Amino acid sequence: MSATSETLENIIHKEYKPGFVTDLESDTFPPGLNEDVIRAISGKKNEPEFMLQWRLDAYRHWLTMTEPTWAYVNYESVNYQSISYYSAPKVKEGPKNLNEVDPKLLETYKKLGIPLYEQERLAGVAVDAVFDSVSVATTFKDKLASAGVIFCSMSEAIKEHPELVRQYLGTVVPTSDNFFAALNSAVFSDGSFVYIPKGVRCPMELSTYFRINAANTGQFERTLIIAEEGSHVSYLEGCTAPMRDENQLHAAVVELVALDHAEIKYSTVQNWYPGDEEGRGGIYNFVTKRGDCRGRQSKISWTQVETGSAITWKYPSCILRGEESVGEFYSVAVTNHCQQADTGTKMIHIGKNTRSTIISKGISAGRAQNTYRGQVKILKSAENARNYTQCDSLLIGDRCGAHTFPYIEVKQPSAQLEHEATTSKISEDQLFFCQQRGLSAEDAVSMIVNGFCKQVFKELPMEFAVEAQALLGISLEGSVG
């Protein structure tokens, strides 16, 4: 092994910092799934009857479905009867404000670098934190309310705003959409709900932090964001989990609806526990995310930085229904050790003059496999639709893999599509050049990787861009943007 690959090996052996467990009393269902469990979840949450029916329909449909196997990932199939479908930190009643939240829980968030209090005071970021299955605290509620923005947990939305939930839930990702979405619809326990009224520009970044704590539980959150005519919102989500030997399932659904001239920017920094170097443990991240550009000139932009999870199966997509609507997908997916990621996007062009941009950066190290899978579909109705796709892969070391599966389907002759793809390695020349200028090998790799990801990082809101760089083991300031 040459000196360079040895250095690279050292660099990619980084420990997982958020891997601690919080010792909390929790209310956890025994493992297993049947209609009674679904009734119990719905009951715990005092849901209206329509929600229970919706869940049961989803469950009955799920029973007829099989787990998808087309992704380029390899794992032992999940035993859905061995998972607990509900776990919540024990509280007598739902917390009314942060002072009522278990201090241990707040301590956990602090350790993860999300001090709720401080964020409330300083950063102007409103945070909803989902711990295991339930949402524990939503900050900044009053300020948002005065702007007419609703930002609360999904459970609360079901109780307080059932008409909105009923109108929109499942309209972007139907309960029968796919195996994991159907399962999520049946058992989801919480998540975030955002409603931005007509013409309102949300006065701050909204943020959700997801944390899986309890063992043997699945996390199934459901997020719904509705942007009314002419409104604008930027939403961030972050995710971590403790280190455990067994695999844990995370099957979330995110639905976005943008009406006329509305804009939704959705950013994710995903750092679920990736498993150890031998591939033991780690989160199975099977997520369905889809945005519907329902209105004219609406815009939905997905930005994701995926560094965690043992297996990632995730394709944040845009349905470009409204005329002149715009869809964007910016992605950095990092896989190391035995991680496997099959991720990408779908851009479905339905309306005239719709445009989409896909920028995907895959980084593979160790023995990891990194796959980009993207679909661009231009329907007959989508006159003058345009798409630009760029997918680049960077390999670190010689035992990893990068794969690209682009699917293009065009039914409208006036459409214009461009597709560019590259695969490169960090070369010994680059590394030596940086070292000769005084940088350590570790800083050099960080710098090169960061440069490779620049197009995506510059799409992230400031705070997240910093977190994303840190996640890649980068201690650079100011190089992004």
> Is the CB of 298 or the CB of 469 nearer to other proteins?
469
> Is the CB of 112 or the CB of 447 nearer to other proteins?
447
> Is the CB of 196 or the CB of 426 nearer to other proteins?
426
Question: Which whole-number Å values give the CA distances from 115 to 47, 118, 135, 140, 276, in the listed order?
Answer: 31, 5, 16, 13, 28
Count of positions on this chain that bind other proteins (CB under 8 A): 29
| Binding of other proteins by 3 (CB under 8 A) | yes
Interface residue with other proteins, options 441, 445, 460, 468 (CB under 8 A): 441
Q: Which residues pair with 301 in a beta bridge?
A: 265, 328
Axis-axis angle for helices 35-44, 49-63 (nearest 10): 150
| Binding of other proteins by 99 (CB under 8 A) | no
Q: Least distance (Å) from other proteins to the CB of residue 468?
A: 14
| Binding of other proteins by 473 (CB under 8 A) | no
Interface residue with other proteins, options 113, 411, 427, 462 (CB under 8 A): 427
| Binding of other proteins by 420 (CB under 8 A) | no
| Binding of other proteins by 435 (CB under 8 A) | yes
The position carrying tokens 């524990």 is 136
| Binding of other proteins by 448 (CB under 8 A) | yes
Interface residue with other proteins, options 9, 120, 443, 463 (CB under 8 A): 443
> Is the CB of 96 or the CB of 437 nearer to other proteins?
437
| Binding of other proteins by 1 (CB under 8 A) | no
Residue 72 is encoded by which pair of tokens?
């380029």
| Binding of other proteins by 455 (CB under 8 A) | yes
**Candidates 23-31, 288-296, 371-379, 444-452; binding stretch for other proteins (CB under 8 A):** 444-452
| Binding of other proteins by 428 (CB under 8 A) | yes
For other proteins, the binding residues in 76-95 under the rule CB under 8 A are none
| Binding of other proteins by 476 (CB under 8 A) | yes
Interface residue with other proteins, options 30, 103, 413, 478 (CB under 8 A): 478
Q: Which residues pair with 420 in a beta bridge?
A: 390
| Binding of other proteins by 452 (CB under 8 A) | yes
Three-state helix/strand/coil letters over the chain: CCHHHHHHHHHHCCCCCCCCCCCCCEEECCCCCCHHHHHHHHHHCCCCHHHHHHHHHHHHHHHCCCCCCCCCCCCCCCCCCCCECCEEECCCCCCCCHHHCCHHHHHHHHHCCCCHHHHHHHHCEEEEEEECCEEEEECCHHHHHHCCCEEEEHHHHHHHCHHHHHHHCCCCCCCCCCHHHHHHHHHCCECEEEEECCCCECCCEEEEEEECCCCCECECEEEEEEECCCCEEEEEEEEECCCCCCEEEECCEEEEEECCCCEEEEEEEECCCCCCCCCCCEEEEEEEEEEEECCCCCEEEEEEEECCCCEEEECCEEEECCCCCEEEEEEEEEECCCCEEEEEEEEEECCCCCEEEEEEEEEECCCCEEEEEEEEEECCCCCCCEEEEEEEEEECCCCCEEEEEEEEEECCCCCEEEEEEEEEECCHHHHHHHHHCCCCHHHHHHHHHHHHHHHHHCCCCHHHHHHHHHHCCCCCCCCCC
| Binding of other proteins by 432 (CB under 8 A) | yes
> Is the CB of 144 or the CB of 441 nearer to other proteins?
441
> Is the CB of 239 or the CB of 445 nearer to other proteins?
445
| Binding of other proteins by 46 (CB under 8 A) | no
| Binding of other proteins by 433 (CB under 8 A) | yes
**Candidates 9-17, 173-181, 281-289, 440-448; binding stretch for other proteins (CB under 8 A):** 440-448
Q: Least distance (Å) from other proteins to the CB of residue 396?
A: 15
| Binding of other proteins by 430 (CB under 8 A) | yes
| Binding of other proteins by 425 (CB under 8 A) | no
**Candidates 35-43, 147-155, 437-445, 462-470; binding stretch for other proteins (CB under 8 A):** 437-445
| Binding of other proteins by 437 (CB under 8 A) | yes
Q: Least distance (Å) from other proteins to the CB of residue 481?
A: 10
Interface residue with other proteins, options 148, 162, 197, 451 (CB under 8 A): 451
Residues near other proteins (CB under 8 A) are 2-4, 427-430, 432-441, 443, 447-448, 450-455, 476, 478-479
